[in-house]
Amino acid sequence: MIYGDKHTRVLVQGATGNQGAFHIDLMNQYARKVGGEGIVAGVTPGKGGREVHGVPVYDTVREAVALHDTTASVIFVPAGAAADSIMEAADAGIGTIVAITEHIPVHDVMRAVAYARSCGSAVIGPNCPGLLSPEECKLGIMPAPLFKRGPVGVISRSGTLTYEVVDELSRAGIGQSTVVGIGGDPIIGETFVDCIERFSADPETKAAILIGEVGGALEIEGAEAALSLGLPLVAYIAGVSAPKEKRMGHAGAIIEGGEGDAESKIRRLEAMGITVARRPSELPECISDLL
């Protein structure tokens, strides 16, 4: 597993909001099931002293970290304050920061991610479903019943497509070491390359699946990293029928100037020797061949 395990002590920023409270309950249900630490603290400025599903709430991240030794944070703060929340977590020494929030202004994200990196923190997202290491930890909103523990790492720019792929794998008896949703915004924290590097150093991960979409070149960079590190990789690129110059769902999923469309990415990946599935249902067979 990467980014966290059963012993990871987690705080939730935006703990008293509807989404924060809802997912604190779900994440701790999973933690109890697998014998993990789970969510041990929440943060909402001005609401310190409350509890959410038995989890104590504090006014600041620094206070929560000092009292509960938390090393990861999941952020459900509204877009206007989310960048400040990322920086507050990084400033308090949180190593893994999962930003679920969407619609954060691009310049705010740039500033927050740069600051977090300067503090040595890894930001997953924003606008992402988080990550889940089966039988270890859940940081975010991924539907845990779909997951099965095993040797395949999954990295994806999509949310619901990730769940479909995981379901296909689990039904085929292929488990996952860790599944990471890196988010589909133009500016994100951890990229395919960052995750590939972690997976390549993880003894439990024997191969990886890269789930990409139109826009940008992150998938190509991730594949190059996998080849250089010797990590077996299979890819799926969504959006073959996406019209040019039109954003498709994610803010980062836009084809511009003839670059970043699905077919050109597929051709480049195949030219590198990467197996590319044409539909999600083909991925279990593709990854089985590698394993």
Identity at 35, one-letter amino acid code: G
Residue 92 CA to residue 76 CA, distance in Å, equals: 18
Q: Is 19 annotated as a binding residue?
A: yes
Q: Do the annotations mark residue 125 as ligand-binding?
A: no
| Gap between the Cα atoms of 273 and 164, Å rounded | 25
Cβ contact 272:222 at 8 Å: no
47 is in an annotated binding site: yes
254 is in an annotated binding site: no
Residue 251 amino acid letter: A
Helix (H) or strand (E) holding 3, with range, is none
- Is 127 one of the annotated binding-site residues? no
148 is in an annotated binding site: no
CA separation for the pair 209, 186 (Å, rounded) = 21
263 is in an annotated binding site: no
Q: Helix axis angle, 218-229 relative to 262-271, nearest 10°?
A: 10
For residue 23, indicate whether it is catalytic.
Answer: no
- Euclidean distance between CA atoms 160 and 197, whole angstroms: 24
Q: 186 in helix, strand or coil?
A: coil
Which residues are bridge partners to 73 per DSSP? 11, 97
Q: Please identify which of the residues 7, 23, 103, 250 carries the catalytic annotation.
A: 250
**Does 273 count as an annotated binding residue?**
no
Residue 17, marked binder = yes
Residues designated as active site: 250
Q: Which residues are annotated as a binding site for CoA?
A: 16-19, 47, 100-102
Write out the binding residues.
Answer: 16-19, 47, 100-102, 163
Residue numbers belonging to the annotated binding site for substrate: 163
